[in-house]
Amino acid sequence: MWEYSDKVIDHFLKPRNVGEVENPDGVALVGNIACGDALKLTFKLDDNGRIQEVGFKTFGCASAIASASALTEMIKGMTIEEAAKVTDEDIANYLGGLPKEKIHCSVMGREALEKAIAHYKGESVPGLEGEVICECFGVTKPEIERVVRDHGLKTVEEVTNYTKAGGGCGGCADKIQEIIDQVRAAAKGAPARPKLTNLQKIRLIEETIQREIRPALQQDGGDLELIDVVGNRVLVSTRGACASCAAAQLTLKDFVEAKLKELVTPELRVEEVAP
Amino acid sequence: MTVIYLDNNATTQVDPEVLEAMLPYYHELYGNPSSMHTFGGQVGRKIREAREQVANLLGAAPEEIIFTSCGTESDNTAIRSALATFPDKRHIVTTRVEHPAINALVPRLAKEGYRVTELPVDGQGRLDLFQYDEALTHDTAIVSMMWANNETGVIFPVEKAAAMARNKGILFHTDAVQAVGKIPIDLKQNSVDMLSLSGHKLHAAKGVGALYVRKGTKFSPFLVGGHQEKGRRGGTENVPSLIGLGLACQLAAQRLNEENTKVKALRDKLESELLARIPNSRVNGDRVMRLPNTSNISFEFIEGEAILLMINEMGICASSGSACTSGSLQPSHVLRAMGVPFTMAHGSIRFSLSVSNTEKEIDYVIEKFPLIIEKLRALSPYWEVGAAICATVES
């Protein structure tokens, strides 16, 4: 069972501002039913430009309902400019914290708020459209970049907690890691790694195979030989137990390629060739 | 607050008689059954009795029962034993809807170089036996097929499947953790080679299970240690728990009829009343070939965790196949394998009854549950436009 704060349970059992505001100034629907949660937010401004009425409807778990309820309480009485400054962290804090696996519920609240404000202004939400990285949950590259930047995220698991990206089939984990690396490198104001010359790259590949990869394979009775490096394609040939093992392809991708990407450069692709 | 416990596929209450039988072996009769003195030896005699009681429930011989620590250990032992004793065979046949005890083992075996066939199920959670037959090859070391599904209660044709495996000389294991004590099982009458069961699913304690291994089946131990269980499972016996398991098995045999009449009638009443009172709801899984105590119902346009926490406020305990309850972000692998639309899978609730449930409890749930669904649907942005979404997803 999740460890929900008393405030989460309170907002879940007695949600505030449920429903849809009539003739709203701002409307947004984010998420969808296949993903497991969705939030529809509507608000209406008073004559002074303050949020007078706000309503929500949520499809989702207890923390999704509580996050939406909390959001409506928080923004009531705010001007658009004030509301635009509300972050997912503010929502989570208002609720006395959320379990880390449930942070995405507060992120959904912030997204709905942004979209509703954009709708009011007659704009589209700036910068969150883009290449879809996680097909399972329809999460785009800019969305991932933003949470990595805003919250200093370091791992794919953290990104999943914030955006759900990577939480379905897991096929996009590598792409998410690349985005994390890029964002973090950019934040440091320097490229992730110094640009390698071809010669340096080949030397580093040789060294990594010699020092990190072969000893590990040899422990399982296998081995591997570097045949050639063509651009970013690393051509190798497997030996010993690896040569006859059905799992060798997995080893090549999950271990050899991963190690080379980590220690040399993320662009590398490992391919097996006949010896 | 009184608790209405409808989550018996998750775990059951230790029967008071079982608990009473266990207690002396924690404190007064604490001897080690392996010891030479009478003080320990008398415990050994009691374990022998427990082994007979477990064997009797299954139609097995006592020497075919190995006590383990849980269903998961039994499952892992069975698979690993088959692979170790048939080292030339590199193929395993199982299904997509197995319990994690098998389901999570499968990708590991694939990584180790085994070929794995995970049989699909249809929309009702049923297997295609022709497809199963085609999957069996001369390279197949073992079939592992659950007897009854923990989430839907759907019963697989395990006896037929075991006979088909036997015909091809292939070992057959079944995870019968949910089936034992709920439906009749007679291992004298079928070709099952190995069967897993778990104590806490049939009113014994947590942390005890058993693996049936048919006489003559090659076996390789999972836990290597002392000579306990005739060298087939090392480790000092969990004496009180396995004595409790023995008695629980004896009681289960006596209550099998009640399980299939009284419990089934309560389950059927709960199910039909909820379906009648709540629109956009449906049962997941074959309603005929099904455990008598289980009902898995989906309520469209709302999410399972929210339902569970709302009924929790009324003291009603159940489970859900929704993503939010699993710790993962996807709904139950069983419902996905059945192709249950996401609109339905997220709002699935599993009720699992036991002989302790009363008609009064069921009436209370029938009265209160629809109100919860109504409350959550009032919160859902999809409820009003319901029909249209449902049609597009299901087509």
DSSP per-residue letters across B169-210: T-EEEEE-TTTBTTB---GGGS---EEEEEGGGTTS-TT-EE
User: Is pLDDT at B271 greater than 90 in this prediction?
Assistant: yes
Question: B194-198 and B209-213 as β-strands: parallel, antiparallel, unpaired?
Answer: antiparallel
Regarding whether A86 and A183 lie in a shared domain, the answer is no
Does residue A40 form part of some domain?
A: yes
Q: Which of A105, A134, A172, A242 is catalytic?
A: A105
Query: Range(s) for CATH 3.90.1150.10 in chain B?
Result: 4-9+256-394
* Distance between CA atoms of residues B219 and A175, nearest Å: 45
The CATH number linked to A138 is 1.10.10.1100
pLDDT for B184 equals 97
CB contact under 8 A, A247 and B380: no
A243 plus A180 within the same structural domain:
no
Domain B4-9+256-394 annotated CATH 3.90.1150.10: yes
**Helical residues (DSSP H) of A14-140, grouped into ranges:** 62-75, 80-84, 88-94, 103-121
- Domain co-membership, A73 together with A142: no
Instruction: Give phi and psi for B91, each to the nearest 5.
Output: -130, 140
Whether residue B113 and residue A40 make contact (CB cut-off 8 A), yes or no, is no
Q: Tell me, yes or no, whether A24 and A110 share the same domain.
A: yes
Largest Cα span, chain A: 79
φ/ψ (deg, to 5) at B192: -65, 130
| A38 part of a folded domain | yes
Domain C-terminal end among A76, A99, A121: A121
pLDDT (0 to 100) of residue B165: 98
Domain end residue (candidates: A78, A98, A121): A121
A72 touches chain B (CB under 8 A): no
pLDDT of residue A193: 58
CATH code (residue A59): 3.90.1010.10
Q: Which positions ≥6 away from B384 have C-beta within 8 Å?
A: none
Taking the Cβ of residue A247 and every Cβ of chain B, the question of whether any pair is shorter than 8 Å is answered with yes
Phi, psi values for residue A36, rounded to 5°: 100, -10
Q: Give the whole-angstrom CA distance, residue B59 versus residue B180.
A: 12
Q: Which residues contact B318 (CB under 8 A, 6 or more apart)?
A: B6, B7, B308, B311, B349, B350, B351, B352
Q: How far is the C-alpha of B145 from the C-alpha of B174, rounded, in Å?
A: 5
- Min Cα–Cα distance to chain A from B245, Å: 27
How does pLDDT run across B191-237, given as a tens digit for each residue?
999 999 999 999 999 999 999 999 999 999 999 999 999 999 999 99
Q: How confident is the model at residue A243 (pLDDT cuts 50, 70, 90)?
A: low
Are residues A13 and B313, on separate chains, in Cβ contact within 8 Å?
yes
CB spacing of B381 vs A13 below 8 angstroms: no
Let me know whether A43 and A109 are in one domain. Answer: yes
Helix, strand, coil percentages in chain A from 3-state DSSP, rounded to 5:
50, 20, 30
Q: Does A162 touch chain B (CB under 8 A)?
A: no
Catalytic residues of B: 324
Separation of alpha carbons B172 and B156, rounded Å: 13
Closest A-chain CA to B301: A59
> Is residue A126 assigned to a domain?
no
Q: Of A200-209, B204-213, B242-251, which gets the smallest average pLDDT? A: A200-209
Residue A174 and residue A251 in one domain: no
**Mean pLDDT highest for which of A98-102, A251-255, B259-263?**
B259-263
Residue A127 domain-assigned (yes or no) = no
pLDDT band, residue B389 (cuts 50/70/90):
very low
Q: What digits encode the pLDDT tens for the residues B332-341?
A: 899 999 999 8
Token pair of B81 as six digits: 């034993």
- A96's tokens: 């006395």
**Residue span of the structural domain in which A154 resides:** 132-187
Residue A200 pLDDT grade (very low, low, confident, very high; cuts 50, 70, 90): confident
- Is A1 within the bounds of a domain? no
Residue A60 DSSP class: S
CA distance B309 to B372: 10
The pair phi, psi for residue A259, each rounded to 5°, is -65, -45
Residues A46, A148 within the same domain = no
Domain boundary residue, one of A152, A167, A187: A187
Residue A45 lies in a domain: yes
Q: For residues A113 and A211, state if they share a domain.
A: no
Q: How many CA within 13 A on the CB side of residue B213?
A: 22
Pinpoint the residues of chain B covered by CATH 3.40.640.10. Answer: 16-252
**Are A164 and A223 part of one and the same domain?**
no
> pLDDT tens digit string along B176-191?
999 999 999 999 999 9
CATH number of the structural domain spanning residue A259: 3.30.300.130
Is residue A157 located within the same domain as residue A237? no
Domain B16-252: give its CATH architecture: 3-Layer(aba) Sandwich (3.40)
State phi, psi for A270 to the nearest 5 degrees.
-95, 135
Strand partners, B283: B297
Average pLDDT, integer, range A30-57: 91
Of A223, A205, A227, A208, nearest in space to A274 by CA: A227
Decide if A101 touches B, using CB distance below 8 A. yes
pLDDT tens-digit readout, A82-116 = 999 999 999 999 999 999 889 989 999 999 999 99
Does residue A142 sit in the same domain as residue A78? no
Q: How many domains does chain A have?
A: 3
A268 and A176: one domain?
no
**Residue A91 included in any domain:** yes
Residues B217 and B235: their CA atoms lie apart, in Å, by 22
Count how many residues are written for chain B: 395
Calpha distance A128→A163 (Å, rounded): 12
Our answer to whether residue A105 is catalytic in this structure is: yes
